[in-house]
C-alpha cells in the first residue's frame, strides 16, 4: 500500500473545509484541516504536508497572506505547492486578481466554489510535476 499524500486545508468556514475534505479524500489524499491561520501554521509544522490550500480572506483581509508568509518561511515550506483560495467575485473585476510579485510564491489561485474535477486534477498535476 502506498502512503497517502497529505494535504492541509486552512479556511475559517467549517462547511467549506468539510466539503473540500470529502472531495480530497475521495481523491485518495489524507486531509488535515485548520480553522484559523495560527492553527494552520502549527499543523503545517507538525505534519509537513505535501500541499496546502489556504483561504485568502479568513476573518481579516490578509490573514491568508500572513499564513502564506509563515509557511514559506519554514524549512519544509520553501518548495511545497501552495494554493490560495478566494471567494471574491467570480466574474467580478477582481477575477484577474494575481498576488503581487513581492508575495511568496503561490502555485495557484482558485476561486470558490471549486469544481471537484478541477481541484483533483490541479493537485495531481502539482504533486507529480515535482
Partner 1 sequence: MPNTPEKPLILVIDDEEALRDGCRQVLEKCGYEVITAEQGIEGIKLARERMPDMVFVDLKMPHMSGMEIIEIMSRDLPDIVLVMITGFASIVSAVEAIQKGAYDYLPKPFNPDQLRALTKRGLDHRNLKIETKRLREEKDRMEKNFITFVSHEMRSPLVVIRQYIEALNEIAGKSFDKDVKEIIERCRKRVQSLEEMVEHWLDISRIENGTLAQQKVSLSLASIISRSVEEMTPLCRKKGISLETNISKKLPQITGDAESLVRVFTNIIGNATKYTPEGGKITITVKNDEYYTTASIADTGMGIPLDKLPLIFEPFFRCRGKDEKIIGSGLGLTFCKKIMESHNGGIEVSSKEGKGTTFVLTFPVSDNAAKGNTGHTSKSI
Contact assessment for residue 61 and residue 97, using Cβ atoms and an 8 Å cutoff: no
Instruction: Count Cα neighbours of 125 within 13 Å in the Cβ-side half-sphere.
Output: 10
Q: At what angle do helices 37-47 and 63-72 cross, to 10 degrees?
A: 20
Q: Closest approach of Cβ 99 to partner 1, in Å? A: 16
Note whether 92 binds partner 1 by CB under 8 A: yes
If binding means CB under 8 A, how many residues of this protein chain bind partner 1?
Answer: 23
Note whether 87 binds partner 1 by CB under 8 A: yes
Candidates 26, 78, 105, 121; binder of partner 1 (CB under 8 A) is 26
Select 20 or 80, whichever has its Cβ closest to partner 1: 20
Q: Closest approach of Cβ 86 to partner 1, in Å? A: 11
| Order of strands across the sheet that contains 6-10 | 30-34, 6-10, 51-55, 82-86, 108-111
Q: Please give the grid coordinates belonging to residue 3.
A: 502512503
Select 62 or 113, whichever has its Cβ closest to partner 1: 113
Note whether 4 binds partner 1 by CB under 8 A: no
E strand or H helix at 1, and its extent? none
Point out which residues bind partner 1 (CB under 8 A): 13, 15-16, 19-20, 22-23, 26-27, 87, 89-96, 112-116
Amino acid at each position: 500500500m502506498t502512503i497517502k499524500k497529505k494535504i492541509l486545508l486552512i479556511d475559517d468556514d467549517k462547511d467549506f473545509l468539510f466539503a473540500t475534505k470529502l472531495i480530497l479524500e475521495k481523491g485518495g489524499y489524507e486531509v488535515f484541516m485548520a480553522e484559523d491561520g495560527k492553527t494552520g501554521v502549527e499543523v503545517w509544522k507538525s505534519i509537513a504536508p505535501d500541499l496546502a490550500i489556504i483561504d485568502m480572506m479568513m476573518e481579516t483581509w490578509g490573514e491568508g497572506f500572513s499564513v502564506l508568509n509563515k509557511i514559506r518561511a519554514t524549512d519544509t515550506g520553501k518548495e511545497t505547492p501552495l494554493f490560495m483560495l478566494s471567494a471574491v467575485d467570480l466574474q467580478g473585476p477582481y477575477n484577474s486578481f494575481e498576488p503581487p510579485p513581492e508575495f511568496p510564491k503561490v502555485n495557484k489561485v482558485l476561486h470558490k466554489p471549486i469544481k471537484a474535477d478541477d481541484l483533483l486534477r490541479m493537485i495531481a498535476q502539482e504533486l507529480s510535476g515535482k
